Structure 1
Amino acid sequence: MQGLVFWLVYPFLWLISIAPFWLFYKISDLIYFLVYHIIGYRSKTVSENLRLVFPEKSESEIKEIKKKFYRHMCDMFLEMIKSISISNKQLKSRFTFTNIEEIEKILKTNKSIVLICGHYASYEWVNALQLYGLDYKGYGVYKKIKNKYFDKMVKDIRGRFDGELITTIQATRTIEQNQEKGRLGVYAMIADQSPKISRAKYWTEFLGYQVPVFIGTEKLAKTTDMVVLYLHVVKLKRGFYEATFKPITYEPREEPDYMITNAFLTELEKQIRNEPEYYLWTHKRWKHRNTPIPNKAIIFKRD
């Protein structure tokens, strides 16, 4: 059944991916109309999240942010599909980096990098980093897709640009093996997910509410002594993004506990408050805000 679903859907994805950009974004407009106006995909969740985070905003302001968010979300989803066939030249021109020299500087220290980011702007085209001829291999840490055919498709897309997707379970072992063999890597990790309550061991404030957070990225950086950079992505205009590497720490083992996580959340919050339409509001990020905090949980304060 998984194969049947994939082969029924894939031809349409391929046709969308090879469409010229002017037509490509017309398709995105159509999908936006269906998703926002007809289906109302997770509309209630988005409105609730926006009202929670921005209680000072009027209903008209919330609605405007909501509309912009859905337009961006549809663009980003289709841009993932565009990766099936996008050329190196197009990718490099549409996802640019302001300070590639930061990566070159770290390369001289012979250290690998944790590239930490949130569900903000676009992370789909960060593959463009592989086109600069750096002596790093790029890895994306992700949650495996249940349909094995679609899972293979996204892995093949990353492979087109000499990158590789690894699951969260594979991440630690892959990094350790690479370090044993002297291979340097850039490991991109999205770190703003909401843990299940059974795994909610660490809590802190995020956008005004006490919620559980993952600190696995921080622990991994300290264990493996990798430089930690925040990927600050700005959407310049439709289909064009600009990324800046913001150092969080070059010496993770010397940092106090939770400093890395705090710095990451601070950078992400700044971006969300500045341009909220580019955050992924469809996730129930604050669903545990009123849940009793487990007795053995650790609560750490934000600076």
Structure 2
Amino acid sequence: MQFLIYILVYPFLWLISILPFRLLYILSDGVYILLYHVIGYRKKVVSNNLRLVFPDKPETELKRIRKAFYKHLCDMFLEMAKTMSISETALRKRFKLKNPEEFKRLESLNKSILLMYGHYASWEWSLELQNHVSYKGFGVYKKLANKHFDKLVRNIRSKFNTTLISTKETIGVINDNEAKGIKSIIAFLSDQSPRLSKEVYWGEFMGIEVPCFTGAERLAKKLDLTIAYLKVTKVKRGFYEAEIMTLAEQPKDYKDYELTDMFLREVEKQIYEAPEYYFWTHKRWKHRDKEVI
């Protein structure tokens, strides 16, 4: 069944990927009408999230943010499909790094780099960053249930010299690289909601106490990795800028969870500045006020 779904969907993804950008965004406008006005995909989740984190905003403003978010969501997913065939030159024009010199400076420390992301603007096209570093790039991700699509995503990443590794593989891969003297840059998407457990860290995100992922911080401290935040902003439709913001060169000098909180504050700043580019369809605040027994 997995393969059947794959062979049915793959041709459509490929056709989308070879569309000129002008036609791609015309298609995105049509998908937005279908997704928002007809299907209403996760509209209740998005509305509840926005009301929760912006209780003082009038309903008219929340509606504007919600519509703008869905338009961005459609753009982003079609841009992800476009990655299948996009050239390195085209990607470089559309995803620019503002301060490549910071990458060079961090590499000069001769330590692997852990790069924390938020689900904001475009994380998929951040694979262009590999052009600015000599370190081998790894992206930590959750394996897809469909093994054929999982392989497709891995192949797309690998053509830009970035390797995807599952959360279970991460420590083993990094330890192996360090033992061989191979320095790497490891990307973590760290702003979503972890499973509840007695050991989970509860921190504040958008003014609400929620459980938080701490894997990136713990890994940086354990293996003495430089830790940084990738700030991605949307300049205009189809164009993004990224900035490397170093959080800690010596992570062991920081208190437990301090680096996680620093990361969350940076994500918050971007959300407050332009909330329509955050990934509101996730149930990020679903565990608030819950107790773990």
Task: Give the match for residue 123 of structure 2.
Answer: 123
CA–CA separation in structure 1 for the residues paired with 2:203 and 2:129: 32
Match for 1:12: what amino acid? Answer: F
Match for 2:212: what amino acid? Answer: V
**1:151-193 CA distances to partner (integer Å, 9 max, x unpaired)?**
0000000001011000011011111101111111111100011
Give runs of aligned pairs for residues 202-213 of structure 1, distance below 5 A.
202-213=201-212
Match for 1:162: what amino acid? Answer: N
Give runs of aligned pairs for residues 1-303 of structure 1, distance below 5 A.
1-132=1-132, 134-198=133-197, 201-292=200-291, 294=292
Structure 1 SS opposite 2:120: coil
Match for 1:144: what amino acid? Answer: K
CA–CA separation in structure 2 for the residues paired with 1:82 and 1:200: 40
Structure 1 SS opposite 2:197: helix
Structure 1 SS opposite 2:116: strand
Question: Does structure 2 conserve the Cα–Cα contact (< 8 Å) formed by 1:88 and 1:131?
Answer: no
Shift of 1:286: 0.8
CA–CA separation in structure 2 for the residues paired with 1:198 and 1:4: 37
**1:55-75 CA distances to partner (integer Å, 9 max, x unpaired)?**
111111000000000001111
Question: Does structure 2 conserve the Cα–Cα contact (< 8 Å) formed by 1:200 and 1:213?
Answer: no
Structure 2 SS opposite 1:198: coil
Structure 1 SS opposite 2:155: helix
Shift of 1:289: 1.1
**Aligned pair count?**
293
Shift of 1:2: 0.6
Match for 2:200: what amino acid? Answer: K
Match for 1:256: what amino acid? Answer: K
Structure 1 SS opposite 2:57: coil
Structure 2 SS opposite 1:125: helix
Deviating 4+ runs (over 4 angstroms): none
Decide whether aligned partners of structure 1 residues 41 and 199 sit closer, same or farther in structure 2, where only a CA change above 3 A counts. Answer: farther
Structure 2 SS opposite 1:84: coil
Task: Give the match for residue 300 of structure 1.
Answer: none
Match for 1:285: what amino acid? Answer: R
Shift of 1:131: 2.2
Structure 2 SS opposite 1:120: coil
Question: Does structure 2 conserve the Cα–Cα contact (< 8 Å) formed by 1:225 and 1:253?
Answer: yes
Decide whether aligned partners of structure 1 residues 54 and 200 sit closer, same or farther in structure 2, where only a CA change above 3 A counts. Answer: farther
CA–CA separation in structure 1 for the residues paired with 2:129 and 2:153: 17
Q: For structure 1, which segment, 193-202 or 40-49, has the greater mean C-alpha deviation from structure 2 after superposition?
A: 193-202
Structure 2 SS opposite 1:41: coil
CA–CA separation in structure 1 for the residues paired with 2:199 and 2:153: 29
Question: Does structure 2 conserve the Cα–Cα contact (< 8 Å) formed by 1:116 and 1:229?
Answer: yes
CA–CA separation in structure 2 for the residues paired with 1:212 and 1:29: 35
Shift of 1:45: 0.5
Shift of 1:200: 5.9
Question: Does structure 2 conserve the Cα–Cα contact (< 8 Å) formed by 1:46 and 1:282?
Answer: yes
CA–CA separation in structure 2 for the residues paired with 1:92 and 1:186: 19
> For structure 1, which runs of at least 5 residues remain unmatched after alignment?
296-303
CA–CA separation in structure 1 for the residues paired with 2:196 and 2:185: 30
Shift of 1:197: 2.1
Q: For structure 1, which segment, 228-237 or 104-113, has the greater mean C-alpha deviation from structure 2 after superposition?
A: 104-113
CA–CA separation in structure 2 for the residues paired with 1:198 and 1:250: 30
Structure 1 SS opposite 2:74: helix
Shift of 1:199: 6.3
TM-score norm. by structure 2 comes to 0.98
Decide whether aligned partners of structure 1 residues 124 and 72 sit closer, same or farther in structure 2, where only a CA change above 3 A counts. Answer: same
